[in-house]
Structure 1
C-alpha cells in the first residue's frame, strides 16, 4: 500500500514546491490587512495542539487589554462564503465547524469569522469590527496569501519521524524545510514522551533549519472534568471511564487521561471532526450500560457537537463529561509572550 502511494507523494510534493516557489519569488503576492496577523498552524495533519495554542495567544493578548479577532477555515462546516460565528445559531457546531464554534464559545466577546479565503475573512472581520487590534489566523501556515506578522508552528512531540513524509505517504502537508518560514516553533505534548525522546525530536527537527529559530516546549494538562450540559464539576478520581473522541491524535487524549489517574476501560475513537451519528452514540450508550460504566469522557472540541445529539441529551444512566485541557510550558513561555507583546 505504501509503495502504491509513492507516485502520489511525489505529485503532491511537486505541487507544494511549485506553489511555495511562486510565493518565495514574489510572483504571487501576499495580501496584508491593516492590523498585525498571527498565524498558528502546523506541518502535519491533525492533532498537534494548534487550537489550544491559539486559545493561549488569545487569552494572553486579552489580558494585555488588546482587542483580538480570529479567522478560521471552518473545516467541515456547512456555511457559504465568509460568516461570523454566532453562538445562537441552530446546530452551530455543525454549521460553522467544531473548532471555530469552540473558540467562539470559549471567548464570547471575541469575533470569530470563518471562510476558506482567510484574506476575505480578515477583511470582513475588520470591516465589521474596526476596534480589533490583532487578528489570529487558525491553521494558516499553508494559507500563504494572508500576510502575517508572526508565524507560529506547532509540532507534536509524539509524532514519529516517518509521519513527516509528505501526504499521502505520511502526514506532512509540506516538507520539513518549510519550517524555515516560521518565526517560532512550539514542540507540544513533551510531557507525553521521555526526555531522551524529546532530545531526539529536537535534534531531528533542527537538521532541517537553515537559521536559528526559538523552540518553545509545551504540554497538556487536564484542569477539570465537567458535566457536558450543566457544567457541574465532576470528581473522576480513580474511576473507570469510557472515552469518546473525534480528534486527530486520539492516542494522546487517552494517554493524558491515564496520566491524570483515570482507568480507561475502552476508547471509541472516531475520525477527526466526526459528526457522531445517533446510531453510533446509541451503541456506545448500550456498551456502557452492559459493562456498567457510568462515565463517558470527551474533549472540548467534540463536546460542542455532542451537546446537539439527542442520544446524549436523553442519556440518564450514563454521564457525559468534558475534559477541560490547558496548555502549560516547560521551556520558552517568555519567548512566546514577548513575540505576542511586540505586536502592539
Structure 2
C-alpha cells in the first residue's frame, strides 16, 4: 500500500510539473513585457495625495528657512533637487563663506493659499505643483504673484524635493485641462505641441546662440537678453563669450501640464556659461560671492556657470509665431573657475 501511494504521488508530481513550468514561463513573459504591477508602479494615480503634498510643502518651507537663516546648505539639501536645488545650494555655499555667522537679512519664507496640482501618472518619478502666494512680496508691486514650486519624488522610498521654482504674475497661469478632476501631465515627447517639452531646453540654447527665427516670443528672456549680451560682449579691455547648453537629465528633466487651449505649461532647465577674458596686464573683477565658489586662480580669465529654471506656455502644434512664451525664469550662479 505504501508503495502504491508513493507511485501515485510521483505520478501526480510529474503531471503537475508541466503546469508549474507553464505558470513560471507565463510569469516571466509578463515580467519581461512590463505588464506586472509591483507595489502599484504601473497604476495610474495622482502624484501625491493632498495631505502628502501639503506635508511636502511645509517640510520644504521649514528646511528652506533654517538653511537661509544659518547660511548652511546642509539644512535643506534633502529638500531640494534639480535646477532649483543647484541654485539654492550654490547660493548657500557662497553665503556660508562670506557670512559664516548666519544671514542677518533673513526673512522667513511663508507660502500660503496653496493649490495643489496633482497630475496622474504611472511609475516613477512622480511630481506635483504647489501653486502658492508668498508673503515676501506683500506691500510691493509684485503682491499677488504666484510662486509655483514643483516637487519630484524618485521612488517609493524617496522624499519629496523641490526641483523648480517659478514666480509668475497672478494672471499668467492659463486654465489647465483636467481628466477626472485632476490636471493632465504631458509627456516629454508629446507631438501635439509647437515644441515638445523634451526639446525645449535644446531649442532655447540654440536660440540664445544664434537668434534665428524660432518659436520663442519676444521678451525679457529671449530677444532682450540676447541684446543685453551683445552690448556687454566687447568692452574696453574685456571680452565676454557666452555658451548655452541643454539640461534634461535626471531631476532636470522637463515637466508639463496640459492647458485647455491644447497647449501646455512646461517647466524646463538650461545651463549657461559666461567666460570673461581680460586684456594683457588686467584681471576680471570677481565679487566676494563668486570668489566663494571659485576653483582655480584668476590670471586673465573667469568663467561663470549659471543654471536657469524656466516656466513657459507652449501653444498647440501648427502655431506659426510666438509659440513659446515665458511666464517666469529663475537663474543663479552655481560654479566659477579662474584661469
TM-score with structure 2 length normalisation? 0.29
Higher helix share: 1
Which of structures 1 and 2 has the larger relative contact order (alpha carbons within 8 angstroms, sep 6+)? 1
